[in-house]
Amino acid sequence: MTTVSLPRGETIWYQRVGNGVPVLHIHGSAFGHRNFERLTPLVAADFEVIDFDLPGYGQSAGAPREGGLEGIADQVHEFIGVLDTAPMHVHGTSFGAMVALILAAKYPQSVNRLVLSCFLARYDGAARMMRATWRRAARDSGMAAVSDLTAVAGFGRAFYEREEAEEQLASMREAFSRTDPEAFVRGTKMLEQVDLSPWARRIKAPTLLIAGEEDNMTPFAPADSGIGFSRIQHMIPGCELATVPDSGHYLVIEQPEASAAQVREFLRAGPTFMSAGRP
């Protein structure tokens, strides 16, 4: 575990696990790198996994760059540059998937193969209403309350019958508590304002979309005002689509084995930029 500084002074905390071709995990809003704490050991069986905290989250210092999601994608691009790991595989989930999509579209030289799990390219009215309740909770009750609210929407119903459910919920509350409430509020507003479909059409990297079968937070087919995987799959040229059964939005937590199997199979398939002799 260590830190690096970006050109504009932000400090990024990160850790590297495993060996092989590098895979960068980009976490969802509020979680920080612990979003992948159950997935990383499984993916690291075949790859070197890099987990990190975006500025404003976890143990990283600084703030998201101006320019909304594109500004955050710029920060991730700079982070990859500092590590000198381009091109590399990238897996973003939820908010992190939105950042990863822009990263791959704007900086194709940095991304080898791309995995995007559980996100909307454009929010519908229900998604905006859901996030409005989270913003109020963040300011009125704190991030532990946000953790519980998002858990209700984020996990499939069967998750709460598991023996490990309470332990996982406690881990989420602790992870969320490390996020600045105002950073979270800014982030939720940012997500509600974007339409990523123009970026999606620019993707050149081989791409896998992974959906949770019971995802009510970012559903496969949202209302007409939103854009989910039902339409995104036709925007990204040649992309693949996989569904994880018995899982909600938090599939990397709820079904890590099934999620890791999808990720590892896709990342192992076909040549990488490096093996193909590309710079």
Is the pLDDT at 82 greater than 50? The verdict is: yes
Q: Confidence band (pLDDT; 50, 70, 90) for 271?
A: low
Q: How many domains does the chain have?
A: 1
**Is residue 14 helix, strand or coil?**
strand
- What is the CB neighbour count within 10 angstroms for residue 275? 10
How many CA within 13 A on the CB side of residue 90?
34
pTM: 0.93
* 276 domain-assigned: no
- Type of residue at 15: Q
Kindly state whether residue 273 falls inside one of the protein's structural domains. Answer: no
Question: 57 lies in a domain?
Answer: yes
Least confident of 58-72, 77-91, 96-110, 210-224: 58-72
Question: Given a cut of 80, is residue 239 above it in pLDDT?
Answer: yes
Least confident range from 116-120, 162-166, 177-181, 204-208: namely 177-181
Which residue matches tokens 């398939």?
269
- 183/205 Cα distance (integer angstroms): 30
Kindly report, residue by residue over 121-164, the tens digit of the pLDDT: 999 999 999 999 999 999 999 999 999 999 999 999 999 999 99
Using CA atoms in the order 222, 33, 262, 152, what is the torsion angle rounded to 10 degrees?
A: -40
- Flag whether 275 is in a domain: no
224 lies in a domain? Answer: yes
List pLDDT tens digits, range 246-267.
999 999 999 999 999 999 999 9
Amino acid (one-letter) located at 82: V
User: Using alpha carbons only, how large is the chain's radius of gyration in Å?
Assistant: 17
How many CB atoms neighbour CB 37 within 10 A? 17
| Residue 106 predicted with pLDDT over 50 | yes
CATH code of the domain covering residue 137? 3.40.50.1820
Which range marks the domain in which residue 72 is found?
A: 2-268
